[in-house]
């Protein structure tokens, strides 16, 4: 009896992070970040590209929040809140150019626009609320 040889096949599945799922121990933990991006038209990307770093590489379109003025406050937002890649459109061309990236927090009830130029979310101070 002769066996038939089959070429090995590798299947790869892409992992897409879900920022709405909290890791163990995150209950009651907040990020502290400063609303410090320069003023201008604020945009954000509602669809995640798997990383929140101010550099959107996904295929979704941006949404304009409106005219943004930094409040300068240090906000405390739950680590389970939604944060988005976004940009301040300094040259009014309606698209993200280099050095325009920010991280956007929509605030309580997802109705505001707060933006920070500190693009390393892992470096943000955390605290228990």
pLDDT at 25 over 90: no
Instruction: Using the predicted structure, report yes or no on whether residue 60 has a pLDDT greater than 70.
Output: yes
Over residues 77-92, mean pLDDT:
94
Strand order in the sheet with 101-105: 63-68, 40-44, 83-89, 101-105, 114-116
- Is the pLDDT assigned to residue 24 strictly greater than 60? no
CA distance 6 to 23: 42
Per-residue pLDDT at 63 exceeds 90: yes
28: left (phi over 0), alpha (psi -120 to 50) or beta: left
Domain definitions of the chain by residue range: 29-123
Say if residues 32 and 76 touch (Cβ distance below 8 Å).
yes
Pairing mode, if any, of strands 63-68 and 40-44?
antiparallel
Confidence of residue 15 (pLDDT cuts 50, 70, 90): low
Task: Name which of 39, 45, 21 is nearest 106 in CA terms.
Answer: 45
pTM above 0.85, yes or no: no
Pick the closest to residue 114 from 79, 89, 86 (CA basis).
86
Per-residue confidence (pLDDT) for residue 13, from 0 to 100 = 66
- The DSSP string of 11-74 is --------TTSPPTT-TTEEEEEE--PPSEEEEE-SS--S--SS---SSPPPEEEEEE-----E
Rounded Cα–Cα distance for residues 119 and 19 (Å):
16
């Amino acid at each position: 009896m002769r066996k038939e040889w089959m070429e090995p096949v590798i299947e790869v599945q892409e992992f897409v992070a879900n920022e709405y799922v909290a890791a163990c121990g995150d209950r009651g933990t907040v990020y502290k970040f400063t609303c410090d991006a320069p003023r201008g038209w604020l945009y954000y990307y509602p669809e995640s590209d798997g990383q929140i770093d101010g550099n959107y590489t996904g295929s979704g379109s941006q949404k304009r929040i409106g005219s943004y003025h930094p409040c300068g406050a240090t906000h405390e937002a739950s680590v389970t809140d939604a944060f988005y890649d976004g940009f301040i459109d300094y040259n009014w061309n309606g698209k993200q150019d280099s050095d325009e990236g920010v991280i956007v927090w929509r605030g309580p009830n997802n109705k505001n626009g707060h933006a920070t130029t500190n693009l390393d979310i892992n470096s943000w101070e955390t605290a228990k609320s």
